[in-house]
Amino acid sequence: MTDDHARRDDDFSQRINYFSQPGVPGHGVTTRAGEALHRLARDEDDSAALGALATSDVLVPDLSDPGRDNGDARVVKLPVAEQPDGSQFVPTFTSEQRLTDALPGVGRYRRVPLAALLRMWPSDDLMLAVDPGADEGITFPAEGIRALVALAD
């Protein structure tokens, strides 16, 4: 995906250690996407929450090797995970905390507007997972991805 709004957050691991400390200002900060996901956990048919999620930014784990990858910084390489049944999904996260809870070994990510990501979705066989592993996590198949794009427009 190419998007001028995507950015690299290399100091992610340092900041997450600070903000994950109880009592530190900003601990438990809720993002717009996280709030939308929380509302969807209570009501799957909340179209306002789906619209808010569709127009929010998400974090995409950056698994590239910064020492070897000299490519275009605007290009986001989508990480693909596979479920036991063979279905594949792209993990995205609503906050740094959710990302480190699910993938503690990943220290870099790209902040991407979800609508821009979904408009360039590579395959109907690939699902979108938002906060996988979290109680409020949700996975969208192809038709759900198309619905989110429509809500963002």
Please write down the HEC assignment for all residues of 43-85.
Answer: CCCCHHHHHHHHCCEEEEECCCCCCCCCCCCCECCCCCEECCC
Assign domain 7-15+30-152 to its CATH superfamily: Uncharacterised protein PF11572, DUF3234 (3.40.1350.90)
Place of tokens 């969807």: 40
53 to each of 85, 101, 120, how far by Cα in Å? 27, 20, 17
- CA separation for the pair 153, 145 (Å, rounded): 13
Predicted confidence band of residue 67 (pLDDT cuts 50, 70, 90): low
Comparing CA positions, the residue from 50, 37, 120, 107 lying closest to residue 78 is: 120
The tokens for 8 are 């690299």
Sign of CA dihedral 83, 89, 90, 93: negative
Sign of CA dihedral 102, 121, 7, 31: negative
Predicted confidence band of residue 10 (pLDDT cuts 50, 70, 90): very low
Please give the model's pTM, rounded to 2 decimal places: 0.76
Predicted confidence band of residue 15 (pLDDT cuts 50, 70, 90): very low
Domain ranges, ordered by start, for the chain: 7-15+30-152
Residues of the chain above pLDDT 70, percent? 75
**Of how many residues is the chain composed?**
153
